[in-house]
Structure 1
Amino acid sequence: MQNNVRQDRITGSRRFSNYFWTFFLFIGGFSFLLAGLSSYLNVNLLPFANPTELIFIPQGIVMIFYGTLSLSLSIYIVLTLIWDIGSGYNEYNKIENLVKIVRKGFPGKNREILLTYPVNNIRAIGIQISEGLNPKRIIYLCLKDERKIPLTPVEQPNTISNLEDEAADLAKFLDLKLENL
């Protein structure tokens, strides 16, 4: 039974980088907001600076705008962390001849995303590797109708050798060919 079902866990938004950016954006946004309010109220709300010397129009307004924008973005990232957007698993089941891709989305009636494909509709396992400023290293499920379903999570690029090993292992498990995209 164990040799016929394989399940790969997918990490969603709960990654170190999201925690880091949430903290950074919250502290920066809160500081900018206090600086803008200090320039408007002529009361120093920041203990480490004196933003009362700023002229409210245009500097104070810009500080309030950037602070509000940064705080809003940090709240959005916190919500994606709480909801764990993008997490889930890929299940490859030889007994049922199915591949299931399960992910968590945003709250609502379609929160659980479930994609199911019969193994006989899968043409191959594909690998796409592109280098440069925005490198891509992705494993795809290539269907017979020419659709390509990504199987790897969105994160820092995996090493090429690890990606090739994962893809080869999956192709061998599903008895499919491996192709370069």
Structure 2
Amino acid sequence: MPPTDLTDVLEQPVLGSRRPSNLLVALVVSLGGVGFLLTSLSSYLHRDLLPVGHPAELVWLPQGAVMGLYGLAAVLLATYLWSVIGIDVGAGSNRFDRGAGKATITRRGFRRRIDVEIPLREIQAVKVEVRDGLNPRRRLALRVQGRRDLPLTRVGEPMPLADLELAGAQLARFLGVPLEGV
């Protein structure tokens, strides 16, 4: 197979769960969980283990025990959040190779890597989805013959509309397919 020209390949990196917002949430949940556990332990030992307030004055049953359950739940949630961030779930790339005639979509899953290969001739359009409201959605997807729409953009924070339209137009131009939904 001859080497492909650089203009025949378009690769788009996709950001996973290692975003500043996820790091901030994991940090806050971790600190809150440790705080609740220390409050519960202070109540049980009748000693202030925290520099703020007087948790030793709380009655162990039911207040201290309930604080301990909240702390345990928060620490378990924080463990899950930190593991998702450590694995970087959702990270990957979209690679479109005209020379090879295929698109390769890769994502890092929680337990395994997800790879999807699609022949470029089966791609019918690039679709821009914009939905505002309580649960906003702004994403790019590929309309593929005989399959559901295949999302290309990251999950979570919606992309700015101008960036979304620019990326969709660039991809549609590269693939030679129409842009839908604009």
* TM-score over 0.5 for the pair: yes
Aligned twin of 1:53: 57
Q: Distance in 1 between matches of 2:101 and 2:39?
A: 60
Shift of 1:25: 0.9
CA shift, 1:132, in A, is 0.8
Distance in structure 1 (CA, Å) of the matches to 2:133 and 2:20: 24
Structure 1 unaligned segments of length 5 or more: list them: none
**Could you say what secondary structure the match of 1:46 adopts?**
coil
Give the C-alpha shift of residue 155 in structure 1.
Answer: 3.2
Q: How does 1:48-127 map to 2 (within 5 A)?
A: 48-107=52-111, 111-127=112-128
Structure 1 outlier segments of 4+, above 6 Å? none
| 1:93-129 Cα deviation digits (max 9, x unpaired) | 101111100111123xxx1110011111111111110
Deviation of 1:77 after TM superposition, in Å, equals 1.3
Deviation of 1:177 after TM superposition, in Å, equals 0.9
* TM-score computed with the length of structure 1 as normaliser: 0.93
The CA deviation at 1:49 is: 1.8
Matched length: 178
Mapped partners of 1:23, 1:167: distance in 2: 34
Partner of 2:162: 161
Pair 1:135-2:159 in alignment: no
Helix, strand or coil: the match of 1:102?
Answer: strand
Indicate the RMSD between aligned Cα atoms, in angstroms.
1.3
Q: Which runs of 5+ in 2 are unaligned?
A: none
Secondary structure (helix, strand or coil) at the match of 1:147 reads coil
Instruction: Give the percent of matched residue pairs that are identical in Structure 1 and Structure 2.
Output: 37
Counterpart in 1 of 2:40? 36
